Structure 1
Amino acid sequence: MKIIVPMAGMGKRMRPHTLTVPKPLIPIAGKPIVQRLVEEIAKVSNESIEEIAFIIGDFGKEVENQLCEIAENIGAKYSIYYQNEALGTAHAIHCAAESLSGKVVVAFADTLFKADFVLDAEADSVIWVQKVEDPSAFGVVKLDGDNRITDFVEKPQEFVSDLAIIGIYYFKDGENLRSELQYLLDNKVVVNGEYQLTDALENMKNKGLVFKPGQVIEWMDCGNKDATVHTNQRILEYHKDDELVCDSSSIENSIVIPPCYIGENVVIKNSIVGPHVSVGAGTVVSNTMVRNTIVQRNSNLEHLNLENSMIGNHVDIQGDVAELNVGDFASFTK
């Protein structure tokens, strides 16, 4: 089985963090979002992952090396494809046309999930869904009495279903998907100037392809700062029984309230950390109270009372502040 991961977007809603790193590589509880995503897909799959194809922008060699390592960590080879223009979801997936063969999972890298189902690899197609309170904000699916998807409805203003599409799809026949995407591009089938995956899905359904839902337990968004901090909280809760404090960390005259992730060579002095805090490698936290926050690598926090915050890499902050959203290499004293 192959996993196709479109991740070329600029992540504007996650700035300033995405000015220096692609959103899917922002760490959640010590692991990049995209790493957690492919690991969860591997867990629900009955088959080994043969290849992960990443569709990226011009992110540089360091990012490509990180993606290679993520694929190799689950025993898969990796491929890199480039989307140079933002021309829609169908166009993004088609950029990896050479990898669209055999059994394929397409997973957009701005969401995480938890599921207890096992993927039915013999189904024509499975679309991951989650019940939501306000379906009008999402694309949703309608089901018939045999639990088959009959319709895809984009942001319905009147209630038709509360099963939202979360952005993860399985196709038994990747070549079929590739053919439908090619049809959209060849015939310039666009909506608001973009090629949409839902048009390909509709064409496939009309030709007799059977779509089934795969309902997840929880769908976690990483679209903006508050959503990402909440996702960090939920992931830490799911892993609260794991060892999340690295042995090389130093905790002096401090309290760590679990669940927290404390990375390699972190120093915590005279502080209270947690719950729901992730601290990246090499960061120093002193004389500080921090909760429900993500702090990345090699930063320095001193004399803070901090919550519901995201702090980037190589940040130096001192002073009494309550909530922050600070990108890499920031420095200030209050």
Structure 2
Amino acid sequence: MKVILPVAGKGTRLRPHTHTKAKSLVHVAGKAVLEHIVARLVPLDISEYIFIVDENGCQIQEFMQKKFPDLQCSYIVQQERKGPAHAVWLAAPRISPADDLLIVFNDTIFDADLSLIPQLCFDCDGLIYSKEVEDYQRFGVNVVENSLIVNMIEKPDTPISRLAQVGLYYLKDAMRFMGYLAAAIEAGDMVKGEYYLPAVFMRMIRDNSRLKAPEIDAWLDCGKSETILETNAYLLQGRHHIHGESQNCVFIEPVHIEAGASIRGSVLGPNVSVASGSVIESSVICNSIINSGTVVRNMVLTDTILGDAVQLVSTARRMNIGDHSFIEMQG
């Protein structure tokens, strides 16, 4: 099996955290998004990890060499931004006739048992992993009849289906799939100037390919700040780890403090992750991500993401307040 990981893209919905780094390297629950994804793939028998990168590709390569030095990786630059299907198609020269293929997009950390792929796909040509959602109008959805996908609708107005595509795909015959990709691109099958995978899959379905839509256990969106905090809270469940230095602190589970962080005189949690090299003093923080080398003093923070090497410092207030007073302090 080979894996294609399209990690190009500006990550505009995650700014300012993506001004200086690739969006797949943004941290959540103590690890980069990409590390969470690759760690879920390592147990599979994967011969090559093919990364589709942009001008930040050197960051991805350095990260993989540091965190996963034993994996066989290759890197292809997407010079023109022509959509996700175009990004996947760029990997065609790396595909051989005997390959099967997994495609994983980097906005999503998934919880799914991928060891079940042979069992799920024994009588079909591919798997379009899905998750039932309430806000189906925001997604491309799969329409399923008799356990097979018969149609795909982008952002439907009516609940024809709630099975949203989650950006995780398996194709049993990688070369055949690449042929359909090439045909879609040659035909100029674009939406608003970009190529998308549903058009490719619909070509396959019209040619009687059998595609299924297995549901994943959890779909953890990492594409914008609000959802990264939700994903952080989910991944921290059952992971209360204090590896750094702490003095006179209260930790409300779950909290993840990396080795090399220093916490003094503070209350942290729930759902707080603090990266190595950070210093937190005299502060109260909940539901937040504090990245490496950051200093926080005399602050009360909630629903907050602080990038690398941030300095957020206030001073303690001194007050003399009489009986029956009402004080409301905004911000």
- After TM superposition, the score normalised by the length of structure 1 is 0.88
**Bigger shift: residues 100-109 or 14-23:** 100-109
Cross-structure match for 2:109: 112
For residue 17 of structure 1, give the secondary structure of its aligned residue in structure 2: coil
Cross-structure match for 2:308: 313
Cross-structure match for 2:199: 199
Identify if the C-alpha distance between structure 1 residues 107 and 60 changes in structure 2 by more than 3 Å, giving closer, same or farther.
closer
Amino acid at match of 1:106: I
Amino acid at match of 1:126: L
Partners of 1:71 and 1:77 within 8 A in 2: no
Cross-structure match for 1:139: 140
1:117 Cα deviation after fit: 6.6
Cross-structure match for 1:87: 82
What is the CA deviation profile of residues 132-168 of structure 1, one whole-angstrom value per residue up to 9, with x for unaligned ones?
00211110011112x1111111111122111100111
Cross-structure match for 1:222: 222
Amino acid at match of 1:230: E
1:49 aligned onto 2:46: yes
1:186 Cα deviation after fit: 2.1
CA distance in 1, matches of 2:86, 2:154: 18
If you compute each CA radius of gyration, which structure gives the higher value, 1 or 2? Answer: 2
CA distance in 1, matches of 2:153, 2:95: 25
Partners of 2:112 and 2:218 within 8 A in 1: yes
For residue 65 of structure 1, give the secondary structure of its aligned residue in structure 2: helix
Cross-structure match for 2:13: 13
1:42 Cα deviation after fit: 4.5
Aligned pairs, number: 311
Amino acid at match of 2:65: C
Identify if the C-alpha distance between structure 1 residues 235 and 117 changes in structure 2 by more than 3 Å, giving closer, same or farther.
same
**Bigger shift: residues 82-91 or 187-196:** 187-196
1:98 Cα deviation after fit: 2.2
CA distance in 2, matches of 1:137, 1:283: 37
CA distance in 2, matches of 1:131, 1:64: 34
- Runs of 5+ unmatched residues, structure 1: 322-333
Cross-structure match for 1:177: 177
Identify if the C-alpha distance between structure 1 residues 69 and 94 changes in structure 2 by more than 3 Å, giving closer, same or farther.
farther
For residue 20 of structure 1, give the secondary structure of its aligned residue in structure 2: coil
Amino acid at match of 1:103: D
| Structure 2 counterpart of 1:67, from 64, 69, 72 | 64
CA distance in 2, matches of 1:87, 1:105: 21
Cross-structure match for 1:324: none
1:71 Cα deviation after fit: 4.3
Partners of 1:252 and 1:268 within 8 A in 2: yes
For residue 215 of structure 1, give the secondary structure of its aligned residue in structure 2: coil
1:155 aligned onto 2:152: no
| Structure 2 counterpart of 1:276, from 271, 294, 299 | 271
Cross-structure match for 2:246: 251
Amino acid at match of 1:190: M
